Amino acid sequence: MRRFVVGIVAAAIVVSMGRMVVAQSKTVKAEQGERVTKHILITRFDPARAARGEMLSIDDILEILATPLLGIIPESQDVLRASNVGSPVTLNNVASAPARAYTDAVRRLMGETIDMIVPSERRGLMNRLLGRRAA
């Protein structure tokens, strides 16, 4: 679990990769008794793996943490490629699903009302016929 704190907005974001998560540490502001808004950002979400029970579902994560959902970043090779070249996916491939999901999460954090896109298992005709799945 990773957590990032945005001091200007006084918000804590719990980042989950679909495994068991426990939010136990506090920000400096929270330790000083100030109210800190918390959000969940689910990263590397793969609906097929969640359906097979290999990772927690979105509903399970939300039930365990009881914290508002900021966004869902889908599992993608674009993130790996961006990491390999040392560039954020939001700059390396701005049209990719993960880049759009990160951008939407930031816009939600800043107060905009943006529809949540929940990744689903969408397979093309050939993949459905041949039964192949992405790893």
pLDDT tens for each residue of 11-35: 566 665 555 444 444 556 666 777 7
pLDDT value at 131 more than 90: no
| Architecture per CATH, 2-130 | 3-Layer(aba) Sandwich (3.40)
**For residue 65, what is the enclosing H or E element?**
helix 58-65
Q: Are 21 and 61 in contact (CB under 8 A)?
A: yes
CA 102 to chain centre: 8
Give the confidence band of 1 by pLDDT, cuts at 50, 70, 90.
Answer: very low
Q: What is the pTM of this model?
A: 0.69
The domain segmentation of the chain, as residue ranges, is: 2-130
Q: What residue type is 51 in one-letter code?
A: A
